[in-house]
Each structure stands twice: as structure tokens, then as C-alpha cells.
């Protein structure tokens, strides 16, 4: 394991401009030993481009990209010896069985002990005798997960890791990530599934249009998140009175409910609702996705850094 005082993953000022606003621009990230950083953003925001630089597949135009102190492009063999990679697009060899593919990957890594591989195969219910090309997307993803984790790597790069997995397998995957963090692995988990990142990671970086918009701890994210409320009025007429008071025009149809997002002052809401005939009110925490959309709409939450 690497020196715990230095970041295991270090990206500084990474720029790769593909033209027409595509690429990544001045991206900086750090992931410490035993830490999981969520890399959040919509498809096309720059997550996979960043991952491919970390794998050493692409040479940066500007900036530096290092894993365990090694330059990811110039020292790719040293980097990949300590790395587990789960690609967003699964490219396992279609004609091979799961067993032959995993044996090939283990041999390339110099793994003599296959016990961890077999533990993971069992945990994810993988049929080693099945041909990869005939598998469902979820089962191909299981093969890729076993391949990424079986050597107990010091660093894990996970690009949309639960794609195709059913809810039970998603839970097992999140348990596996927690085990690896406890062991001391550094994890960069790229996803557009916001609640998955919320459960798996210590910190989160939001990326939009190739630039990191915000990096913060999950505790800071929780403090930024407002609450959403569903208010059910006693009648559609009462709901229309609410809508008119908020400049929305009279409500159409017979619905009696309104959805309120990002409520920060609950006391003010209660005072306002006291002048209406309310049948019920329910609340929920704002999702990470809603918080991220708030960034996209131009409102920068407090705590940005």
C-alpha cells in the first residue's frame, strides 16, 4: 500500500479539448488512501474522459495525472499493476467463458491465489461456464466487477459500476465497495446514479460541461440539501387559491396536491399553510440529483470550494 500521507489519486489542471466544448478543462481531483470519491455528472460531462486519462489511455494536453505517485501516461505499467478498472463500456472477450476470461486476467496480473476471485464469483452468483457473449448485460457487468476487484488493488476506478445490475446485486456491490474502503483502497466512483454515490462515498465532485463545479464532503452535501414537500389541500379549489397566490394561475384539473422543492425555511411554510385548508403534508430530503440540477440552473450552493 502507498504512503498514506500522499493522495493515491492526484489530478491537477487536467485539460483535453476535443473542440466544440467537448472534453475536460482544468480538472483537479484528489482521492486519499481508504477514501471513496464520487464523480457525479450527466452523460457527456467528462467523467469517462477523466477515467481514461487515469488509466493512461490518453495523454493530457495540459496538467498532470498521477496514481500512487506515478505518471499515468508515462508510467502506465507501474500504475496498472496496482489498479482495478471497471469500464463504463464492458468490452470482455465475447467468445470466452467467464472462467477462461477471469483466468486470463488473473494470469496477466500474476495472481497465483484465486481464492478472492472465487469468493466474488460466489457473492455475485456468476456462472463461470457461461459464454460472455451470451450473457445479459447484468451478468457481463458481474464478470467485469470480479475482474476489477479480484487482485485486491490499491486503487479502484469504477465507471458506472452498477449498470445492468438488479437491486440485490447493487446492494452487494455497495457492500463490496465498503469492504475495499475499510481495507485501505482509494476509490473513484463515476456515476450518474446520485443516491448510489451518496451511499458509497466520503466526498463528491460535481462535474458539468467538462469542469468541476464543486467538491465537498457528503456531510456538507447533506447540510446543503433542502427538503421537498407534497402538500395535499382539502379541495382542488383550495389548491387553486394557493397557485394564484404564488403567481402560477389557477390550477387545472381535479388534483389537490402541489410539490414544493428545496424548502429551506420550514417555519415560514407552516405559517403560510395555516391560512389554507390542508388535508395532509409529507416531506422528503432533496435528492443529490435535484441538488446537482440546482447547480446547473446557476444557483451555487453555499459551501462551494
pLDDT tens digits for range 5-59: 689 999 999 999 999 989 999 999 999 999 999 998 888 889 999 999 999 999 9
User: Which band of pLDDT confidence, cut at 50, 70 and 90, is reported for residue 153?
Assistant: very high
DSSP at 301: -
User: Which band of pLDDT confidence, cut at 50, 70 and 90, is reported for residue 97?
Assistant: very high
User: Which band of pLDDT confidence, cut at 50, 70 and 90, is reported for residue 290?
Assistant: confident
Are residues 236 and 206 part of one domain? Answer: no
**Last residue within a domain, chosen from 188, 223, 258:** 223
pLDDT at 305: 33
Find the mean pLDDT for residues 121-145: 95
State how beta strands 186-191 and 155-159 pair.
parallel
Per residue, the 3-state secondary structure of 68-126, as one string, reads CCEECCCCHHHHHHCEEEECCCCCCCCCCEHHHHHHHHHHHCCCCCCHHHHHHHHHCCC
User: By the 8 A CB rule, do 137 and 177 touch?
Assistant: no
User: By the 8 A CB rule, do 151 and 84 touch?
Assistant: yes
Check whether 144 has a pLDDT greater than 80: yes
Check whether 178 has a pLDDT greater than 50: yes
Are residues 193 and 117 part of one domain? Answer: yes
Q: H or E segment at 14?
A: strand 9-19
Are residues 199 and 63 part of one domain? Answer: yes
**Number of domains the chain is built from:** 2
Are residues 238 and 104 part of one domain? Answer: no
CA 23 to chain CA centroid, nearest Å? 19
Find the mean pLDDT for residues 251-259: 82
117 Cβ contact list (under 8 Å, min separation 6): 102, 106, 111, 146, 150
Check whether 277 has a pLDDT greater than 90: yes
Are residues 99 and 25 part of one domain? Answer: yes
Alpha-carbon gap, residue 260 to 232, rounded angstroms: 11
Q: What pTM was computed for the model?
A: 0.80
Check whether 297 has a pLDDT greater than 80: no
Write the CA distances from 257 to 45, 226, 232, 235, 269, integer angstroms.
Answer: 35, 20, 4, 9, 15
**pLDDT above 90 coverage of the chain, percent:** 70
pLDDT at 295: 59
In a domain, 1, yes or no: no
Mean pLDDT of the chain: 89
pLDDT at 265: 86
Residue with grid cell 499515468, as numbered in its chain: 72
Q: Looking at per-residue confidence, does 91 or 223 come out higher? A: 223
In a domain, 298, yes or no: no
pLDDT at 43: 81
User: Which band of pLDDT confidence, cut at 50, 70 and 90, is reported for residue 300?
Assistant: very low
> Considering only 59-73, 167-181, 212-226, 232-246, which range has the smallest mean pLDDT?
212-226
Are residues 129 and 40 part of one domain? Answer: yes
119 Cβ contact list (under 8 Å, min separation 6): none
DSSP at 274: T
Residue with grid cell 475499510, as numbered in its chain: 182
**pLDDT above 70 coverage of the chain, percent:** 93
Estimate the crossing angle of helix 137-149 against helix 98-108, to 10 degrees. 20
Host domain of residue 78: 9-223
Q: H or E segment at 284?
A: strand 278-285
Check whether 138 has a pLDDT greater than 70: yes
User: Tell me, what CATH number does 123's domain have?
Assistant: 3.40.50.300
pLDDT at 285: 77
State how beta strands 257-263 and 9-19 pair.
unpaired
Q: H or E segment at 171?
A: helix 167-183
Amino acid at each position: 500500500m502507498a504512503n498514506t500521507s500522499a493522495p493515491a489519486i492526484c489530478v491537477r489542471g487536467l485539460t483535453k479539448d476535443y473542440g466544440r466544448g467537448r472534453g475536460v478543462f482544468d480538472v483537479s481531483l484528489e482521492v486519499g488512501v481508504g477514501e471513496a470519491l464520487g464523480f457525479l455528472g450527466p452523460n457527456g460531462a467528462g467523467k469517462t474522459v477523466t477515467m481514461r486519462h487515469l488509466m493512461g489511455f490518453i495523454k493530457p494536453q495540459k496538467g498532470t495525472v498521477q496514481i500512487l505517485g506515478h505518471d499515468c501516461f508515462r508510467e502506465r505499467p507501474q500504475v496498472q499493476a496496482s489498479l482495478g478498472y471497471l469500464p463504463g463500456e464492458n468490452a470482455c472477450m465475447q467468445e470466452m467463458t467467464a472462467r477462461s476470461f477471469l483466468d486470463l486476467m488473473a494470469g496477466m496480473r500474476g495472481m497465483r491465489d484465486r481464492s478472492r476471485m472465487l469468493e466474488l464469483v460466489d457473492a455475485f452468483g456468476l456462472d463461470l461456464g457461461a459464454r460472455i457473449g451470451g450473457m445479459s448485460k447484468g451478468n457481463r457487468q458481474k464478470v467485469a466487477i470480479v475482474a476489477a476487484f479480484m487482485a485486491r488493488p490499491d486503487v479502484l476506478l469504477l465507471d458506472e459500476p452498477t449498470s445492468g445490475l438488479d437491486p440485490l446485486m447493487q446492494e452487494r456491490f455497495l457492500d463490496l465497495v465498503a469492504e475495499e474502503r475499510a481495507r485501505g483502497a482509494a476509490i473513484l466512483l463515476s456515476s450518474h446514479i446520485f443516491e448510489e454515490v451518496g451511499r458509497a462515498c466520503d466526498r463528491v465532485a460535481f462535474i458539468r460541461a467538462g469542469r468541476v463545479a464543486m467538491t465537498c464532503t457528503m456531510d456538507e452535501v447533506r447540510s446543503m440539501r433542502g427538503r421537498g414537500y407534497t402538500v395535499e389541500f382539502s379541495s382542488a379549489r383550495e389548491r387553486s387559491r394557493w397557485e394564484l397566490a404564488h403567481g402560477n394561475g389557477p390550477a387545472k384539473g381535479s388534483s389537490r396536491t402541489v410539490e414544493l422543492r428545496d424548502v429551506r425555511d420550514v417555519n415560514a411554510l407552516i405559517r403560510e399553510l395555516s391560512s389554507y385548508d390542508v388535508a395532509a403534508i409529507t416531506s422528503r430530503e432533496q435528492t443529490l440529483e435535484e441538488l446537482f440540477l440546482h447547480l446547473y440552473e446557476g444557483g451555487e450552493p453555499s459551501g462551494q470550494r
